[in-house]
Amino acid sequence: MPKQSSLFAQFIQIETRDPVWEWHIPSDRLFLSSGAVTQLRLQDNIPHSMKEFLTHCPLEGLSSYLESVEKVLNGSQGPHLELIYPLDNLMVRAQMLVLQRDIFGRGSILVGSLTVIDKQTFGPVVVPVMDAPPQTQTADSFTDASRLLLALNAASDGLWDWDTSTNAIYFSPRYFSMLGYDNDAFPHVAESWISKVHPDDFENIISEQMKIIQTAAYGDNFECTYRMLRGDGAWAWILSRGYVTHRDASGKATRLVGLHTDVSASQGDRARLEDLVRNDALTGLRSRAYYGMTVERLEQQKVRPVSIIFCDMDGLKLVNDHLGHPEGSKMLCQAALILRHSLCAVDCIARMGGDEFVAILPECLPEQLTVAIERINKAFEEYNTDPDNIPIRMSIGSACAEDMETSLADLLVTADRDMLRVKHLGRASWRAHIKNWIEMHTDKTVQLEDARYM
């Protein structure tokens, strides 16, 4: 059984040459093994509390370090953590594990192992037991440093440590389990990682990281998201964060360290969010936001000619008020379907809100625009020949910009004005037509003199 006094380490052996440590949070007692003291060059000033230990961490790295540790202590990130942080003139790769929590669930004893990874200061220390097969251990079984190292190394996100001078990369056990590989299928060389990057992401990801390796002009750290091939053949979205720890006299990076995190789930959430932003939930047409993105792209690419068709559904409020909003929604969806079938697949057709629709037609000249509008009107006329269908009429306006002198924002205003002109000409007769249809198919009476329809 472990000792109960916080004056003594309960889970590690202080005299071991393995670089391990133990922290008792309530008393802030920190125990460093002989191996940890030696590797960290702390023989002349051994810290006995975390407060003393953190005085060796540069201020610029202290905030992120404390934030990561706090997530482990409060349980929001699970009991394990693997991270890299600066300590004096060293870079340290540390793994830690919460072994005890108080009655409130907050970590009270934290243990860990560490490795100095700046090659210019120390060669990387690899403890052989780290490559041993995983074993299940209980807290009481942590009576020697080797078992402790084994448990810690099996945890956290995928850590990598790349020595570019030899092209050797250390991949943590968690790295392999995250992607579904083993040592044989994923050798400790850069090609193992490079060969698994998705072809569509390869150029951006690999070339940019190689630039960082070649010169400090591109900075010493990076963060990017891309796809990697899993062992089961599926693609995983990976958040990659890396940092150059040392460069040679020519400025070329000789050591990089970092973490790979599987963000496939969050990437899926992002894709669903983008889908909601880009598409109208009711009709399936593009959204107003997507229309805006299309306009921005066409302006940046200086595409001309561009035509715009502005459509407004007549009589929708009559239908909503007398037949119900579900029927009005069906009309909107039917109108969207007719518009989609009447225009080219490359055209952006968006529901701008309510009963307004806009189609933007790149490379469309005035004569082609006329043909497109005739095709739309004919499609609605054919739909309305069925007496059982609630009649749908779209007031359609249009405009064409043949050169860059007219912006697409101004073009939309022109098309809107043209639509209002058409709507004014046919509004009264079409409202009467919808009134007659509603009264013929229901027992309702429609009062067009109602102020709502004026």
Whether residue 332 is predicted with pLDDT greater than 80 in this model: the reply is: yes
Nearest to 394 by CA among 412, 380, 384, 383: 380
Strand partners, 69: none
Whether residue 150 is predicted with pLDDT greater than 60 in this model: the reply is: no
The percentage of residues in the chain with a pLDDT greater than 90, rounded to a whole number, is 45
Q: How many CB atoms lie within 10 A of CB 368?
A: 13
Rounded to an integer, the average pLDDT of 266-276 is 62
Q: Per-residue pLDDT tens for 22-39?
A: 999 989 899 999 999 999
Q: Per-residue pLDDT tens for 191-231?
A: 999 999 999 888 888 888 899 999 988 888 788 889 999 99
> What is the reported pLDDT for 93?
82
* Token duo for residue 393: 């009429």
Q: Name the residue with higher pLDDT: 2 or 126.
A: 2
CB 25 within 8 A of CB 109: yes
In the block, tokens 């193992």 appear at 192
DSSP assignment of 164-205 equals TTTTEEEE-HHHHHHHT--TTTS-SBHHHHHTTB-HHHHHHH
Is the whole model's pTM more than 0.85, yes or no?
A: no
Sheet (strand 168-171) strand order: 168-171, 158-163, 253-262, 235-247, 221-229
Domains of the chain by range and CATH?
6-156 (3.30.450.20), 157-278 (3.30.450.20), 283-453 (3.30.70.270)
Which pLDDT band, with edges at 50, 70 and 90, does 417 fall under? very high
